[in-house]
Chains A and B, each alone.
Chain A
Amino acid sequence: MKLKILPPTLRINKRYLVLDVKSEVKLSKDELVSAIWYGCLRLYGESETSAFNLWLIKFYDIADNNSNNHDINNKIINNDKKSINGKNSQYYHFKAVLRCQRGYEDKIRGSLSMLSNHNNKKIAISTIGISGTIASSIENFIN
């Protein structure tokens, strides 16, 4: 039997963080989820992280223009690394929408930016925007 949905007043308030992810290797959605959890647990520990209510909503591969509006569940076939003006520092560039609980945005932002390595590969995550709805986060920071 399915549980009845909570009334709006009892639901937790959400915020959506738009993440800008640079990675040395190609990332899947699951790997990014694991990196996010690792970063939060490392900085704030289990008890504080339990209040964050993290959920990765959308994941975009920026190198592939066609994949700009689909979830990672659609297979990404582009393997091109993004380069800055054709120079040698190449990286895979992704964007993601991460759901969290209202009031914890700064803590999550801080712990994600402290992440420099995941599985011995370089990774850099910056938060480029915070929004109250998924639609506005995509409209303002991804499209």
Chain B
Amino acid sequence: MKCYDLNIKGNSYNCNKELILEAHRLGWDYFNLLFSPESYEKAIKYKNNLRDEIEDIIINNLRNKIGLEFGIEIHPKNQNELYKLTKKYRNKTKFISVLGGDLGVNRGVCENIQVDVLSRPYLNLPSCGINHVLAKEAVKNYVAIELCFNDILSSYLSYRSKIMAHFREIIKLHKKFKFPLIITSGASSIWEIRSPRDISAIFKYLDLFEDEFNNTIQNYPQKIIEFNNERENMIILGVKKI
């Protein structure tokens, strides 16, 4: 099984290299490094070098093919800013993730086909940030909802249990409405990365069983990547240049 991690926090060249090598050792195969719009321009210049260097190091490994992509994570304050930023960056990158945490932004993202992922919709909210209306919109526009493992890892006591409760609620909605759900590590250093099987063990406790978990780390991310690779040839949804 190929495991996709669509949210690794981009940092300096060496940090990224270390993080990817460690994640590969633990069983991940595809890495999507997310940068802020300001640092993305600088980072995209060394993408090919980074991929070559990592492939040179893991040449003796059985799983010596890795996938590497760079994306942008945007933090809009309101819906207007969301539309401006997505329009601005859509043609510059293959992957746009929007940080949730505001009910208006969550709604705007779910209704926007230009966005790939709504990251952490529960952030700083008393609820999980998703309801049946947003769930249906997410299905319609194929916007994936992201659950970030690092949120559980970096929190403790009541805050951790609240985040786990939000995860449970989102998983419940996912089972009912079948919107794309992805699980990511959200790691920014080697201390925050865990193997896919470890993460699976935790999500099993949150009512996400093995088949569903495999979809969240393999099938849904794969579909998002395939869709994004064809996005530039698409005139409108369903019509593409050949």
- Tell me the A residues contacting B by CB distance below 8 Å: 22, 42, 84-85, 87-89, 91, 106-107, 109-110, 112-114, 116, 122, 124, 126-128
**With an 8 A cutoff between CB atoms, is B232 at the interface?**
no
Question: With contacts defined as CB atoms under 8 Å apart, how many contacts are there between chain A and chain B in the complex?
Answer: 62
Q: Mark B137-156, 1 if CB is under 8 A from A, else 0.
A: 00000000000000011101
| B98 shortest CB reach to chain A, Å | 26
- Tell me the B residues contacting A by CB distance below 8 Å: 14-15, 17-18, 21-22, 26, 57, 152-154, 156, 189-195, 197-199, 201-202, 204-205
6 A-B pairs with CB atoms under 8 Å apart are A87-B17, A88-B14, A110-B204, A114-B152, A114-B153, A126-B194
Q: Are B195 and A126 in contact (CB under 8 A)?
A: yes
| B19 shortest CB reach to chain A, Å | 8
Q: Are B199 and A113 in contact (CB under 8 A)?
A: yes
Interface of A is mostly: mixed
Q: Are B189 and A89 in contact (CB under 8 A)?
A: yes
B-chain residues with CB within 8 Å of residue A22 when the two chains form the complex: 190-191
> Looking across the interface, which residue of chain A has its beta carbon closest to that of B202?
A110
B-chain residues with CB within 8 Å of residue A110 when the two chains form the complex: 198, 201-202, 204-205
B-chain residues with CB within 8 Å of residue A114 when the two chains form the complex: 152-153, 202
Given contacts A87-B17, A116-B153, A127-B197, contact A122 B202 (CB under 8 A): no
